Amino acid sequence: MSAALPSALPTFFISHGSPMIALEPGPAGHFMQRLGPAITQQWGRPRAIVVMSPHTATATPFVLGGTQHETVHDFGGFPPELDEVHYDAAGDAAVAHRVVDLLNQAGVPAQWTPHSGLDHGIWTVLMHLFPQVDVPVVPLSLVPSASPSDLFAMGRALRSLRHEGVLVIGSGSLTHNLRRFFTRPAPVDAPEEPDCAAFRTWVDERTRAADWPALLAYRQQAPHAVAMHPTPEHWLPFYFAAGAACDDDAATPELAMRLHASVTHGHLAMDAYGFGQAAAKLANV
């Protein structure tokens, strides 16, 4: 296995949780507020951010290549103050075309589109990471029907980007059961429920062990996988981010580690993971 270049960025899976994280950061939001400056201190300001979120979903992959994004308030039932939050970042057409080219070269039928817009899975994370809104953003749509292996391969196709100053992020949620969230409402600081704890522990242990066969088969092997993810879209960006951290001749990332762990409402886990050897520099963020 070849060593990663010293300048290579890590990649990240970040749990965005409820849109309310924009107004009430909590432990996860405060972690993001530390992570952004730590990234800049270690590697400089990223050239651009390529991000996949479950709230921009399409039947086939699309890369949003618009030069100026607007903030998409794609939710309802929240305080009106949330609709007043804006994160209108620039896009980067050149990076968007590069993403399409890399995916196409790997056999992924991705397409470029001039459309723009940042869904809440993107802007609620980036507003804490880079509040100055000074890094261009390139959203890559999620294909909800894709398998974990498909998403890992998509990320791996983009592995060269982290050597080019481009930050790759998968935004989702470590656990995501909306039915439970709405039918069994619990305070934000409610004690963690046992099935959530079991799933989180399993992911952490399998990640530490670099047990990618098990992680890719999480639906069959992880405890309470279906309860924690009745539908997979909020978990799939984990595999995209992991694949993007592979070295050229490696099938899996050299390092994967949990950088943050917290839970809201008893079962909405907000854990964040870093991938690639460079992630070790952020262990104490």
Query: Of 56, 12, 84, which Cα lies nearest the Cα of 255?
Result: 12
For domain 11-282, give the fold.
Protocatechuate 4,5-dioxygenase; Chain B (3.40.830)
**Cβ within 8 Å of residue 88, ≥6 positions away:** 68, 69, 70, 71, 118, 133
Distance CA 136, CA 51 (A): 11
Asked if 177 and 263 count as a contact pair (C-beta separation under 8 A), the reply is: no
| pLDDT for residue 111 | 98
Query: Of 272, 249, 243, 260, which Cα lies nearest the Cα of 50?
Result: 243
Asked if 29 and 21 count as a contact pair (C-beta separation under 8 A), the reply is: yes
What's the token pair of residue 44? 């400089």
What's the token pair of residue 76? 């309802």
Find residue 12's DSSP bridge partners: 169, 274
**Maximum distance among all alpha carbons in the chain?**
52
CB environment 246-285: b (16+ within 10 A), e (fewer): bbeeeebbbbbbbbbbbbbbbbbbbbbbbbbbbbeebeeb
What's the token pair of residue 40? 């800049």
Q: What is the chain's pLDDT, residue by residue, as a tens digit (285 residues)?
A: 334 444 899 999 999 999 999 999 999 999 999 999 999 999 999 999 999 999 999 999 999 999 999 999 998 878 999 999 999 999 999 999 999 999 999 999 999 999 999 999 999 999 999 999 999 999 999 999 999 999 999 999 999 999 999 999 999 999 999 788 878 888 889 999 999 999 999 999 999 999 999 999 999 999 999 999 999 999 999 999 999 999 888 899 989 999 999 999 999 999 999 999 999 999 999
pTM for the model stands at 0.95
What's the token pair of residue 121? 């899975």
List the domain boundaries for the chain: 11-282
